[in-house]
Amino acid sequence: MKVRRALRFLCRGALLATLALGLFAGSFTPYSYAHQFRGIPNAAPSAAHWLGTDALGRDLFTRLVYGTRVSLLLAPAAALIASIIAAILGAIAGLRGGWLEKIILACADLSMSLPLLFVLIALRSVLPLDVSPVLSVIATFLALGLIGWPASVRVVWAASRDLRDSDHLLLAQALGYRRSQILFHQVLPCLRPVFLAQFWISIPLFILTEATLSMLGLGVMEPLPSWGNLLRGSEDFSAMAANPWRLVPLLVLVHTVICFQFIFPGSEEIA
Amino acid sequence: MTPGILKFAQKLLLLGALAIMGALLSATIVRFAPGYGVDEHELDSRLSASSRDAIRNRLQLGKGLLSYYGAYLSGLVHGNLGTSAFLERPVAGLLKERAAFTARTVFLGWITAWAAASLLSLLTLRWQSWLLEYSATAATGILIALPTAVVALLCLYLRAPLFLGIAVITLPKLFRYQHNILAQAHIQPFVLAARARGVSPGRILFRHVLPVARPPLLALLAVSASLALGAAIPLEALSDSPGVGQLAWQAALNRDLPLLTSITLFVTLLTAGVNLFSGTLQERRP
């Protein structure tokens, strides 16, 4: 148990450090993420370029820290959108019941049965490929937020349904509380832990999905960096053996996703 | 007609309705997408006004959404899924060519993932050693943290068959769900009682644990099929394999929206069909 607690503490520290790296990217590097050092493409790491440069001569460390900002700020934003949609729909389904519950759950089941990546690719293709990088970032993470809610709906629905039959809600109704009072003072505080859990679970999922989309050329567009399109530069694995520092973006991504898995106490610890 | 057949017929109807809804939804998205109906041939100055009108008629420009739906559904009924703008070939033929490859790869990957996840879950449950438990959790934790596209590239680099990539992507999630389901069933009071009475582990597993875990495990069949199908897209795209996943990716890159609509219909039918199958199995009494 102590090891687990220490691991959780370490993971939280590492996540905060990575987030700080992204937030204060400008303080860690003097270059712009799009600046090209045309004389030194594919350079090896040096004092001036800690992770070397890419094929276009851009500083890889600079792109990594700015990419961290994009991935680590927008994935939580998308997770927030998905969690809010899930909370609203799940609470309505669980508390109201009846035909509304059936429709919401059927929609969630249909959405869950389709592969997320496929739906994202289909939605992304509606926009032209030559959209501006900023618009591509917004479109990618907005699509993730708008599509990523179905799995969370079922969890929120189950929690709300249990709440519907609870004694304290019955008591509140018997005491003549208004519906809004019951919703804001009785229901939402009880659903908060479920909402937060769904929010934190969605973040690594969205980080990974963005990475795959960007590697397929359908996510964040160049020259804006994200962890996904930084990995796009590492498509040639045989070149990786000669340039192992090119693996750093992948290691940062894997490390971040693993940290997200450990930041919560396990059920046996809560008990 | 027995109630069972009636129920199955109802579900089939629901499946058809869902597929048509999915297709109409994607058709609507296509209809309102920026740049819909713009054909580069219209810019050809050598074409006469009547030729341009013919192109516009072919694309059904200027018609309302309802007539667009009508044309789409009537084509669907007659097996005409349209023509791919990018590949300039009938969509039905393209799907027919590629569906078998994807189905075979996904099925093999799915079976391999189920076999590996079941073996790992049963081993951790049987021996209950912390070393085995932590090793399995750590290994699957690392696999979960890898983006699907990176696994695809690794497969390509190692020249591993495509189905192994699908298995590697599906396995960690499947193992975690399976392990939780089996562990929950394993701590039931009647299982503890059976263990206390000295019933053999094999008998406990097959007579006590699996019957309890059966419904959630059957539900997992459908979820894992969807996971495996989702994994096929980046794998086929990055390894340049002739499957539906690669076709979907090419359609997205080239904004071949009619092709993408038909692939959506195909994927909806496939995943909803697996869900129906899994639901029917769950309803059957043990």
Cβ–Cβ gap A215/B234 under 8 Å? yes
Torsion, Cα A196 A197 A202 A208, to 10 degrees, reads 130
pTM over 0.90: no
**Angle at Cα A80 formed by Cα A74 and Cα A86, nearest 5°?**
140
Nearest chain A residue to B219 by CA distance is A113
Whether B278 and chain A come into contact, CB under 8 Å, resolves to no
The whole-number pLDDT of residue B34 equals 67
The residues, ordered by sequence, that sit 6+ positions from B277 with a Cβ below 8 Å of its Cβ are: B221, B222
Reduce the DSSP state of residue B36 to 3 states and report it.
coil
Q: How far apart, in whole angstroms, are the C-alpha atoms of residue A188 and residue B85?
A: 50
CATH number of B95-283: 1.10.3720.10
Residue B220's Cβ-count burial label (10 Å; 0-12, 13-18, 19+) is buried
E runs forming strands in chain A: none
Contact B147 A113 (CB under 8 A): no
Assign A123 a pLDDT band (cuts: 50, 70, 90).
confident
Interval A190-202 mean pLDDT: 90
d(C-alpha B225, C-alpha B217), whole Å: 13
In 10 A of CB B79, how many CB atoms? Answer: 8
Residue A20's pLDDT is 94
Who wins on pLDDT, A234 or A186? Answer: A186
Q: Which two tokens stand for residue B233?
A: 């897209």
B132-to-A113, B119, B127 alpha-carbon distances in Å: 32, 12, 8
Higher pLDDT, A160 or A268: A160
Supply the pLDDT for residue B59.
Answer: 59
Among all residues of chain A, which has the CA nearest to that of B272? A113
Choose among A114, A215, A228: nearest Cβ to B226.
A114
pLDDT for B240 equals 86
- Best probe of the A interface among B32, B84, B153, by most A CBs < 10 A, is B153
Where along chain B do its domains lie?
A: 95-283
- What residues form DSSP beta bridges with A207? none
Q: Is the peptide bond before A223 cis (omega within 30 degrees of 0)?
A: yes
Q: Do A253 and B147 touch (CB under 8 A)?
A: yes
Tell me the two tokens of residue B208: 């006590």
Contacts of B64 (CB under 8 A, 6+ apart): none
Which of chain B's residues have a Cβ under 8 Å away from the Cβ of A110? 18, 22, 268, 272
In chain B, which residue's Cα lies nearest the Cα of A247?
A: B150
Report the pLDDT value the prediction gives residue A271, as an integer from 0 to 100.
45
Decide if A3 touches B, using CB distance below 8 A: no
| Site of tokens 């450090």 | A17
Question: Which ranges in A40-97 belong to alpha helices (H)?
Answer: 60-96
Could you list the mean pLDDT of each consecutive 10-residue stretch along chain B, which spans 286 residues? 73 74 70 65 73 69 65 78 83 90 94 94 85 88 91 88 94 92 90 89 88 87 86 88 89 78 82 78 63
Quote the pLDDT of residue B68: 67
Residue A81 has pLDDT above 90, yes or no: yes
Q: How far is A98 from chain B (nearest CA, A)?
A: 19
CA end-to-end span of chain A, whole Å? 12
Whether residue A235 and residue B153 make contact (CB cut-off 8 A), yes or no, is yes
Q: Of B262, B253, B258, B252, which is closest to residue B59 (Cα–Cα)?
A: B258
Residue B92: count of CB within 10 angstroms of its CB: 15
Chain A residues lying within 8 Å of B227, measured CB to CB = 115
- Token pair for B96: 């027919």
A and B: number of Cβ contacts within 8 A: 120
**Sole residue written with tokens 């943290």:** B145
The amino acid occupying position A192 is R
CB atoms within 10 A of CB B111: 14
Closest CB to B248: pick one of A118, A215, A254.
A118
Predicted local confidence at residue B16, as pLDDT: 75
Residue of A nearest to B143 (CA): A254
Give the DSSP H/E element, type plus range, for residue A172: helix A167-174
End-to-end CA distance of chain B, in Å?
A: 23
Is B246 near chain A, with CB under 8 Å? Answer: no
Q: State the Cα–Cα distance between residues B86 and B84, nearest whole angstrom.
A: 5
Q: Who among B145, B156, B238 is closest to A258 (CB)?
A: B145
CB neighbour list of residue A110: distance below 8 Å, 6 or more residues apart: B18, B22, B268, B272
| B76 phi, psi to nearest 5 deg | -65, -45
Domains and CATH numbers, chain A: 70-263 (1.10.3720.10)
Q: Residue A120 — pLDDT band, cuts 50, 70, 90?
A: confident
Distance between CA atoms of residues B112 and B101, nearest Å: 17
CB distance from A7 to chain B under 8 Å?
no
Q: Which of residues 164-183 of B touch A (CB under 8 A)?
A: none
User: What sign does the dihedral A69-A223-A54-A144 (CA atoms) show?
Assistant: positive
B255 with A254: Cβ contact below 8 A: no
Instruction: Give CA–CA dist B72/B80, Å, rounded.
Output: 9
φ, ψ of residue A36 to 5 degrees: the values are -105, 130
CA-CA-CA-CA torsion for A117, B255, A141, A12, nearest 10 degrees?
A: 50
In DSSP terms, A58 is beta-bridged to: A36
Task: Note the pLDDT of residue A111.
Answer: 79
Which ipTM did the prediction report?
A: 0.85
Sort out which chain B residues have CB atoms less than 8 A from A234's CB and list them.
Answer: 153
Q: 3-class SS at B64?
A: coil
Spell out which residues of chain B touch residue A115, defining contact as CB-CB under 8 Å: 226-227, 229-230, 233, 267, 271
Three-state SS for A130?
coil
Window 182-241 of A, Cβ < 8 Å to B: 204, 208, 211-212, 215-218, 228, 231, 234-235, 237-238
Q: Distance between alpha carbon B56 and the CA centroid of its chain, in Å?
A: 35
Residues 182-241 of B with CB under 8 A from A: 222-223, 226-227, 229-230, 233-234, 237-238
In angstroms, rounded to a whole number, what is the distance separating the alpha carbons of residues B132 and B129?
A: 5
Contacts of residue A116 in chain B, CB cutoff 8 Å? 230
Provide the β-strand partners of residue B266. none
Q: Where do the DSSP E strands lie in B129-189?
A: none
Portion 15-74 of B in contact with A at CB < 8 A: 18, 22, 26, 29-30, 33-35
